[in-house]
Amino acid sequence: MIDLHTHTLLSDGELLPFELARRAQEAGYKVIGITDHVDSSNIDFVIPRIIAACNDINKNWKIKAIAGVEITHMPLELIKSTVSFVRSKGIKLVLAHGETIVEPVIKGTNKESILSGINILAHPGLITLEDAKLAASRNIYLEITARKGHSLANGHVVKMAREAAAKIVLNTDSHAPDNLITKGFAEEVLLGAGVDKKEIAQVFKNSEELVVALA
């Protein structure tokens, strides 16, 4: 199991990075991305702490932890410069908080985030076919999420990704211990979103490929 979207108490999660990683490892995860929410108020605080925690996790445990961030509710004008900033600080895994239908995300966030060179567009809501094609052309992954609320648009995301030939990944967007899932449940989430059984293996492979690319 690879999960490239989780949160700790460095933003709005419940667990320290070490506890999140331990629980994930015990649940059978091989790779976890720790991607706390950032904006201009906390970015300098969060980044070095995520990097330090992931370095120690990787030195001592079998699970691989990837230091990342989720750029969240940013003004459109600041997204590109924020992506550049976090990468300059050593963050390789960059997510953007997409236009989920359950939060008032600024319209245009999906497109601007894709243009800014993120890795994963998290819970992109009612993403347009145009934006899905843009993501495909830039090898940016669209997220299918196991998180309640955000998952309401999963079926639409799968449909747009299929029409645009965009790659999808399955993440939990975990904030609490009970948000971590089994691979079997991940498969059920994908099936529920309209992913064919024969396509499920490719979704998991997409996550593997992204991990390799980030190494």
List Cβ neighbours of 214 (8 Å cut-off, separation of 6 or more).
66, 92, 93, 119
Q: Does domain 2-214 have CATH number 3.20.20.140?
A: yes
For 140-164, what is each residue's pLDDT tens digit?
Answer: 999 999 999 999 999 999 999 999 9
The pLDDT value recorded for residue 150 is 98
Task: Give how far Cα 145 sits from Cα of 50, 96, 124, 148, Å.
Answer: 22, 14, 10, 8
For 7-22, what is each residue's pLDDT tens digit?
Answer: 999 999 999 999 999 9
Split at pLDDT 50, 70, 90, the class of 77 is: very high
For 119-146, what is each residue's pLDDT tens digit?
Answer: 999 999 999 999 999 999 999 999 999 9
pTM above 0.85, yes or no: yes
What percent of the chain stands above pLDDT 70? 100
Alpha-helical (H) ranges within the chain are 17-26, 43-60, 76-88, 109-115, 129-137, 154-164, 183-192, 197-214
For 81-122, what is each residue's pLDDT tens digit?
Answer: 999 999 999 999 999 999 999 999 999 999 999 999 999 999
Where do the structural domains in the chain lie, given as residue ranges? 2-214
The pLDDT value recorded for residue 25 is 97
The pLDDT value recorded for residue 33 is 98
The pLDDT value recorded for residue 114 is 98
The pLDDT value recorded for residue 75 is 98
Q: Which amino acid is at 193?
A: A
User: Which pairs with CB-CB distance under 8 Å and at least 24 residues apart come from 61-65?
Assistant: 61/21, 61/22, 61/25, 62/25, 63/21, 63/24, 63/25, 63/29, 63/30, 63/31, 63/32, 64/30, 64/31, 64/32, 64/211, 65/17, 65/21, 65/31, 65/32, 65/33, 65/34
